[in-house]
Chain A
Amino acid sequence: MQTTNWVPLFPEQASTFAWQVDALYFYLVAVSIAFSIPIVLAIFVFGMKYREREKYVSGAEIHGSMVLETTWSIIPFVVSMTIFLGGAIVFFNQMTPPDDAMTVYVVGKQWMWKMQHETGQREINELHVPLGRTVKLTMTTEDVIHDFGLPEFRTKADVVPGRYTYLWFTPTKPGKYHLFCQEYCGLNHSGMGGWVYVMEQRDYDNWLSGNVSGQTPVEMGKDLFENKLGCASCHAGGPQQRGAKLEGVFGSTVKLTGGGTVVADDNYIRNSILNPASQVVEGYQPIMPTFKGQVTEEQLNALVAYVKSLTPGAATNSPSPASTAPSPANTAGGTGASANNMTPAKADRGKQNAAGSNPNTPSNSNSR
């Protein structure tokens, strides 16, 4: 945190890609200066040197120059392409969560943020995360569009009703950082914020154990699935079942009745619960009733987490498929490797991942 008295002019760098965004920023500042100085200088020099000496004398007969026009078209184009490429590379880093991230579920609501950790802890307007551990937020909202903005981490993402969006970061510095809602959401928009606390692993473990642990999302989802909502009566997975088998579904490509395929990601699971008839798996009848209005956003998160847990290795977040409820100690074990591996290989893996889990990928949206 900024503790000095003078005016801060630059935000802290508190995540692994903060330096990348800042590097891009400084590159652009340099480009801007490199373009501005000659132009401003030329305006001043020409203005002084060629100022009017005598009334109504016309200037030199110069109409243009193909060489100059070509030069000052090509140079800005080339420079703008470097800006584009730099921006695209950083962007794909920001959009591509590593596989070993810990998930936190976020639900926005006018005008508060509700978070739930995989271990069951709930928080409002505050998010505690361990230092060096990659955190992936799976986010939705109960009402209007919000935006989960973390300036010190140099990332943000809109939180959109009716679908999941994602945000990830790996904190690199312990401290207390701003959380802002950055999409206008009505009356108390400027009050819809809070803090992200980045803690040393040990402090984080203490914080976790200090909170009363409720059900984990997977446990809560299992309970809803088997008991409260009765999903299991059709989807339990036996040969005579009316509903599709869910084991191994998550992350796979499913064929739909009437042609087309869709990748079974979070948004597909969510949509299948809310609008079951819209994307029916091949070989099944469209008989499932909608659960719209019967499940809350938190319950939906839990159901998605549970369905995800039925596919070994699919959950991008749970380190070992066997343990549906990883203990804090377990989670800590997986941290070391994930903290700082911003390797080039990540970019390739990233592309696949972005295609699979983004809400707007073609495979997902063409059937809408």
Chain B
Amino acid sequence: MNAQDAVLETGYQSGIPPVNYLNIKTTLASWLLTKDHKRIALMYLVSVSVFFMIGGLFAATIRLELLTPASDLLETGTYNKVFTEHGIMMIFFFLIPSIPAVLGNFLIPIMIGAKDLALPRINLISLYIYWFAGALALYGLMVGGVDTGWTFYTPYSTTFSNTYVMIVGLAIFINGFSSILTGLNFIVTIHTMRAPGMTWFRLPLFVWAHYAVSLVMILGTPVVAITVLLLAIERVSRVGIFDPSIGGDPILFQHLFWFYSHPAVYIMVLPGMGVVSELISNFSRKKIFGYEFIAFSSIAIAVFGFLVWGHHLFVSGQSPYAGMVFSFLTMVVAVPSAIKMFNWTATLYKGSVSFDTPMLYGLGFMGLFLIGGLTGLFLGSMGLDVHLTDTYFVVAHFHYVMVGGQVIAYLGGIHYWWPKMTGRMYSEFWGKISAMLVFVGFNLTFFPQFLLGYMGMPRRYAAYPPEFQVLNIFSTAGASVLGIGMLMPVIYLVHSLKFGKPAGDNPWMLPGLEWRTTSPPPLENFATPPVVTWEAYEFGEGSGLDLEEARRRAAAPAIL
């Protein structure tokens, strides 16, 4: 028996397929020069996790500073840099790439039965662009950081701030191309690479959500690139674009910035909705309620999302009549989100609901997104927004949507597809504990901020009046629970890589294409190219899965 056979033998014994995308080649070059979407996704996973931790450290610093009314832990200038960098790291380098670049990259080709993305080299380039931009942003942070807020409002950012606006701005400019290329790649892939029988309405809703998100990425991101470029031109050459003292218009910047950054909010939540559609349907073992409505509501959100940016400018000196239009459209965009919410709930009805870790995250998402979405109505209602804008109410609202939405869904998705990505099962016990800690910690952190906001506590304040302290203490206490809940997965997931139980190809006996290949999948995803003969979310006999056999195996004591 030669060495290779020995590897095959032990591989089979451990339940991990002998040759998969992870062990087919193990040199550093085979990773750095790979065109395999799964390896690229894993490299994204590691990278966004690093940025998430950096952003999280800044968040912890913010919460510690706000424990007391005075600005005593940090100087105000440092505090301003810390909240700015928290925003920049989290938004541009974690939230925007998180689900699309990690889970989307890994799963879209598998879910549609393709060998890879349509443009594998472009996929690798987008990773390198992201790395370069991220490194540049980190460099900007090392040499002194930036204090403009992640919104870079002019003329502060162009004329008054003496921090490293140019470096960080350039990093954001460059990072945009990574988003654009990823979005482009997804759209081309979904159009051209679907397996025989994989019709549009057999696509998992995860893929629909990513199609919608890709539209926003390729249409919106160029605008923020242009905006940052104009900012740079004014800052360097003093051409009057935004600064009124040299002939510019500061409100123009806000229009341009939010024209991208509001749709970017949907970049940061639509993929989460896609993940949750998968979780709710699969862990209820029931076809998702109103498939078409969920699919088209994603597209509707993407389209209407481009028309509501002015709701960030109700008190900026924008015409009240423009405000009317933006407020109206903001209300309209609430409807597709409500539709999704109702459909997810209805999916549970008469299902066969199990509460594994990913499902806990899925249900957690529903609770938090419900609050995040409803408080969006408060802010979209103009008369109320005048009182609430630029207070902690806004901070709480967007954390409920961004963290309660995207981050929770991301964690749920990572747990759900972890066995597929790595071939190993994590500890279900610790998974459940962590999911519950995250949920409780999150609410304790951000719910008090709604109350603070209504009382009028302004955002971006290093020091605040003493009457706001009690609620801030609650918030900081919650943040420590949240922090522990978020750190735990890092430990038990990494632990599972070596010590986890082999997951088997289909640990939950689910019908999606990703569960019909080995875990981890082979280099080109499927041993034989699949032909799809079943509908989406078909859990019964029509799925072609051997459920009888699986049931028998589940009943018998485990001998793997």
Other 15 A-B pairs with CB < 8 A, given A51-B352, A55-B551, A145-B153: A8-B467, A25-B387, A54-B551, A55-B554, A56-B550, A59-B352, A63-B289, A63-B290, A64-B343, A80-B334, A88-B327, A91-B323, A182-B458, A188-B76, A191-B463
B322 contacts A360, C-beta separation under 8 Å = yes
CB proximity to A under 8 Å, residues B350-393: 350-355, 363, 366-367, 370-371, 374-375, 377-378, 380-387, 389-391
Binary B-proximity of A158-180 (CB < 8 A = 1, otherwise 0) = 10111101000000000000101
Name the distance in Å between B234's Cβ and chain A's nearest Cβ.
Answer: 14
Residues of B within 8 A of A (CB): 71, 76-77, 80, 147-149, 151, 153, 155-156, 159-161, 243-245, 249-251, 284-287, 289-293, 314-320, 322-324, 327-328, 331-332, 334-335, 338-339, 341-343, 345-346, 348-355, 363, 366-367, 370-371, 374-375, 377-378, 380-387, 389-391, 451, 454-456, 458-465, 467, 470-471, 509, 539-540, 547, 550-551, 554-555
Decide if A348 is an interface residue (CB 8 Å cutoff).
Answer: no
Residues of A within 8 A of B314 (CB): 91
Complex: A146 Cα to B380 Cα, angstroms: 22
7 residue pairs bridging A and B, Cβ less than 8 Å apart: A50-B352, A50-B353, A61-B287, A73-B339, A154-B387, A156-B315, A161-B243
A58 contacts B540, C-beta separation under 8 Å = yes
Chain A at the B interface: SS class: mixed
B381 contacts A143, C-beta separation under 8 Å = no
Closest residue of A by beta carbon distance from B470? A7
Q: Interface stretch among A27-35, A227-235, A299-307, A326-334?
A: A27-35
B551 contacts A162, C-beta separation under 8 Å = no
A61 contacts B540, C-beta separation under 8 Å = yes
B286 contacts A189, C-beta separation under 8 Å = no
Closest residue of A by beta carbon distance from B550? A56
Closest residue of A by beta carbon distance from B541? A58
| Contacts A9-B451, A10-B455, A87-B380; A143 near B160 (Cβ below 8 A) | yes
Decide if A256 is an interface residue (CB 8 Å cutoff).
Answer: no
Q: Select which of A55, A186, A354, A362 is within 8 A of B156 by beta carbon.
A: A186
B155, B244, B348: which has the most chain A beta carbons within 10 Å? B348
A76 contacts B335, C-beta separation under 8 Å = yes
Residues of B within 8 A of A212 (CB): none
B335 contacts A77, C-beta separation under 8 Å = yes
A43 contacts B348, C-beta separation under 8 Å = yes
Name the distance in Å between A52's Cβ and chain B's nearest Cβ.
Answer: 4
Residues of A within 8 A of B387 (CB): 21, 25, 151, 154-156
Complex: A191 Cα to B463 Cα, angstroms: 7
Q: Interface stretch among A92-100, A128-136, A312-320, A337-345?
A: A92-100
Residues of B within 8 A of A50 (CB): 284, 348-353
Decide if A286 is an interface residue (CB 8 Å cutoff).
Answer: no
Q: Select which of B153, B249, B383 is within 8 A of A86 by beta carbon.
A: B383
A59 contacts B385, C-beta separation under 8 Å = no
Q: Select which of A52, A65, A89 is within 8 A of B383 by beta carbon.
A: A89
B390 contacts A59, C-beta separation under 8 Å = no
Name the distance in Å between A162's Cβ and chain B's nearest Cβ.
Answer: 3
Decide if A124 is an interface residue (CB 8 Å cutoff).
Answer: no
Decide if A295 is an interface residue (CB 8 Å cutoff).
Answer: no
Complex: A141 Cα to B293 Cα, angstroms: 49
A52 contacts B353, C-beta separation under 8 Å = yes
| Contacts A42-B345, A55-B550; A358 near B319 (Cβ below 8 A) | yes
Complex: A20 Cα to B387 Cα, angstroms: 11
Complex: A58 Cα to B543 Cα, angstroms: 11
Residues of A within 8 A of B547 (CB): 56
| Contacts A11-B454, A90-B382; A186 near B285 (Cβ below 8 A) | no
Decide if A208 is an interface residue (CB 8 Å cutoff).
Answer: no
Complex: A89 Cα to B353 Cα, angstroms: 46
Residues of A within 8 A of B (CB): 2, 7-11, 20-21, 24-25, 28, 31-32, 35-36, 39-40, 42-43, 46-47, 50-65, 68-69, 72-73, 76-77, 80-81, 83-84, 86-95, 110, 143-145, 147, 149, 151-152, 154-158, 160-163, 165, 178, 180-191, 354, 358-362, 368
7 smallest CB-CB distances across A and B, nearest first, come from A151-B456, A90-B383, A162-B244, A59-B286, A87-B381, A58-B539, A91-B382
Residues of A within 8 A of B374 (CB): 28, 31-32, 35-36
Complex: A35 Cα to B386 Cα, angstroms: 24
Residues of B within 8 A of A81 (CB): 331
Closest residue of B by beta carbon distance from A91? B382
Q: Select which of A86, A178, A181 is within 8 A of B381 by beta carbon.
A: A86
Complex: A55 Cα to B156 Cα, angstroms: 60
Complex: A63 Cα to B332 Cα, angstroms: 25
B456 contacts A190, C-beta separation under 8 Å = no
Complex: A311 Cα to B324 Cα, angstroms: 32
Name the distance in Å between B477's Cβ and chain A's nearest Cβ.
Answer: 15
A60 contacts B350, C-beta separation under 8 Å = yes
Complex: A53 Cα to B352 Cα, angstroms: 7
A156 contacts B354, C-beta separation under 8 Å = no
Residues of B within 8 A of A2 (CB): 467
Residues of A within 8 A of B378 (CB): 25, 28
Closest residue of B by beta carbon distance from A166? B317
B465 contacts A62, C-beta separation under 8 Å = no
Name the distance in Å between B276's Cβ and chain A's nearest Cβ.
Answer: 12
B460 contacts A80, C-beta separation under 8 Å = no
Residues of B within 8 A of A51 (CB): 352-355
| Contacts A8-B455, A60-B350; A40 near B367 (Cβ below 8 A) | yes
Residues of A within 8 A of B458 (CB): 149, 180-182, 190
Complex: A61 Cα to B147 Cα, angstroms: 55
A56 contacts B385, C-beta separation under 8 Å = no
Q: Select which of A154, A178, A184 is within 8 A of B386 by beta carbon.
A: A154
Name the distance in Å between A235's Cβ and chain B's nearest Cβ.
Answer: 24
Residues of B within 8 A of A21 (CB): 383-384, 386-387
| Contacts A7-B470, A186-B147, A191-B463; A60 near B286 (Cβ below 8 A) | yes
Complex: A85 Cα to B244 Cα, angstroms: 34
Residues of B within 8 A of A28 (CB): 374, 377-378, 381, 384
A158 contacts B315, C-beta separation under 8 Å = yes
B352 contacts A144, C-beta separation under 8 Å = no
Residues of B within 8 A of A94 (CB): 383, 386
| Contacts A59-B285, A59-B539; A80 near B383 (Cβ below 8 A) | no
Complex: A188 Cα to B341 Cα, angstroms: 42
Q: Select which of B319, B341, B370, B470 is within 8 A of A361 by beta carbon.
A: B319
Residues of A within 8 A of B451 (CB): 9
B370 contacts A63, C-beta separation under 8 Å = no
Complex: A361 Cα to B456 Cα, angstroms: 29
Name the distance in Å between B356's Cβ and chain A's nearest Cβ.
Answer: 10
B290 contacts A69, C-beta separation under 8 Å = yes
Closest residue of A by beta carbon distance from B71? A190
Q: Select which of A53, A62, A157 is within 8 A of B289 by beta carbon.
A: A62
Complex: A362 Cα to B322 Cα, angstroms: 10
A189 contacts B80, C-beta separation under 8 Å = yes
Complex: A61 Cα to B542 Cα, angstroms: 12
Closest residue of A by beta carbon distance from B251? A160
Closest residue of B by beta carbon distance from A71? B342
Closest residue of A by beta carbon distance from B463? A190
Residues of B within 8 A of A87 (CB): 327, 380-385
A24 contacts B384, C-beta separation under 8 Å = yes
Residues of A within 8 A of B353 (CB): 46-47, 50-52
Q: Select which of B286, B293, B316, B355 is within 8 A of A160 by beta carbon.
A: B316
A69 contacts B386, C-beta separation under 8 Å = no
| Contacts A56-B547, A68-B342, A73-B335; A62 near B350 (Cβ below 8 A) | yes
Residues of A within 8 A of B159 (CB): 144
Residues of B within 8 A of A80 (CB): 331-332, 334-335, 377
Name the distance in Å between A31's Cβ and chain B's nearest Cβ.
Answer: 7
Complex: A72 Cα to B335 Cα, angstroms: 9
Complex: A260 Cα to B461 Cα, angstroms: 45
Residues of A within 8 A of B460 (CB): 184, 189-190
Name the distance in Å between B272's Cβ and chain A's nearest Cβ.
Answer: 17
Residues of A within 8 A of B471 (CB): 7
